[in-house]
Amino acid sequence: MPAPPARTVRVWCRTGEDPSLQAPCAVVTQSGGSFLRHSTSRTVGGHSERKASLASAALALALLAAAPSAASPAAEHWIESWHAAPARPRPPGPGVPEGYASPVLDDQTIVQDMRLSAGGRRVRVRLTNEFGDRPLRIGAAKIALATPWMPTPPGASRSLTFSGETSVVIPLGATLLSDPVELSAGDLANVRISLYLPEPTRVCTCHAVGLQMATISPRGDYTASSFTPVAGTENRAFISGVQVETGARLPVIVAFGDSVTDGDGSGSSRNGRWTDRLAERLQGAGGGAVANGGISGNQLLRDAANPPAGDAGLKRFDRDVLGVAGVTHVIILEGANDIGLGGAAPPSAEALIAAYQQLIARGHAHGVKVIGATLTPFGGSPYFRPETEAVRQRVNAWIRSGHAFDGVIDFEAVLRDPAAPQKLRTDLQTGDGLHPNPAGYRAMGDAIELGLFR
């Protein structure tokens, strides 16, 4: 790398009693990492200017040291552009639809597509073995820009490396970031990641409701070639994040919640979650990234009995919010499962409010703005009873008027039926009384005030 050019500051000093009379008395030059001072002082009126020049030269040295060099590389700024919160796997068995059980791979390649929320000039991928039962060997990995359901264009794939190596072992319970890859991706670009797993994976660290079909190859490394799939899965397998390097600092918004944030009911391979709609709107209003931290079935106060529904929100907040690269805001939409699955004695509104206060304090301690979202209606679902509805109403009243959050999104008002406010609008729900349909998710995404993130 060529040496940066030398930079020079000329120091001027008084030449007499009149402060308007000045002449050059020192020159300070920065060359590489060294500073050279050349004195040009002389005696005027019987007094040496050398002492006077010392302070000025010292100031010039400080200015040169603080000034950025034109040859210095720009600081890297990485943000999370796509996120899937991992959880324990769902084993195959009765009642588990085909493609929804966590995959078990052995000498096979799995190919997964995901849509970025924000683009960047370089990308890197976070792989995860947090819930495995042994170290996970990645034999090869590639990333490409590709159109969903279309073949990867020839020459489009880039190898993912880890400290320069094309294969890596992820320790049990760990995550690994790949090296940066030169891949200029636009906003809302689709990326395709291929992982070759040469050894039996047994236990997959997965995100169960991926809502995007991944394809699984016959035996062999197909990261650089096409194949006829032998199986598919909608799990997000062994990948928990994609980060991009940006030239500007953008808002990075984590959506933290349960199945309504995960997008259950929005359709497969449609990018129809309310978080997807929010990302689309941000790109038309100055930019920003959205990281989806929803897990279907997740609860705020306790670990889910169903393993893929994940650890309690209070437990996973640090990983899925504070650990997200560049996070600036979090939207919290969680608590409905605590109320609806609480049995004969659901948690009190006070218990849920105390949990929100904990998350607000933890977010603020890291400089993150915390936005509360009201719990959506669940009338007509198994969750609804007079006592559960009373808890939901008290929680929502506190979210709206408690002045604890940095902002509020009133999703209840967007989705409730005016004629029966305890229920979702018929035209905006799937029919189960719990989940919005594609139109409902779009309405949620359209209702968010973008000024919350500026």
pLDDT tens string 344-369: 889 999 999 999 999 999 999 999 99
Q: What's the CA gap between 259 and 294, in Å, rounded?
A: 6
Confidence of residue 94 (pLDDT cuts 50, 70, 90): confident
Q: List, for residues 161-206, the tens digit of each pLDDT value.
A: 999 999 999 999 999 999 999 999 999 999 999 999 999 998 999 9
Q: What's the CA gap between 267 and 439, in Å, rounded?
A: 11
Class of domain 78-246: mainly beta
Q: List, for residues 205-234, the tens digit of each pLDDT value.
A: 999 999 999 999 999 999 999 999 999 999
Calculate helix-pair angle for 274-283, 438-447, nearest 10 degrees: 40
Question: What one-character-per-residue DSSP string does 240-287 give?
Answer: EEEEEE-SS---EEEEEESHHHHTTTS-TTS--SHHHHHHHHHHTTT-
Position 98 scores a pLDDT of 60
Q: List, for residues 237-261, the tens digit of each pLDDT value.
A: 999 999 999 988 999 999 999 999 9
pTM above 0.85, yes or no: no
Mean pLDDT of 28-52: 43
| CATH number for the domain formed by residue range(s) 250-454 | 3.40.50.1110
* Whether the Cβ atoms of residue 83 and residue 254 lie closer than 8 Å to each other: yes
φ/ψ (deg, to 5) at 65: -65, -35
* Number of CB atoms found within 10 A of residue 372's CB: 25
The DSSP bridge partners found for residue 256 are: 293, 332
Where in the sequence of the chain do the CATH 2.60.120 domains occur?
78-246
Confidence of residue 403 (pLDDT cuts 50, 70, 90): very high
CB-neighbour burial class of residue 154 (10 A; exposed 0-12, middle 13-18, buried 19+) = exposed
* Least trusted range by pLDDT, from 27-31, 112-116, 417-421: 27-31
Q: Where are the beta strands (DSSP E) in 7-51?
A: 7-14, 22-31, 34-39, 43-44, 47-48
Where in the sequence of the chain do the CATH 3.40.50.1110 domains occur?
250-454
Mean pLDDT of 271-297: 97
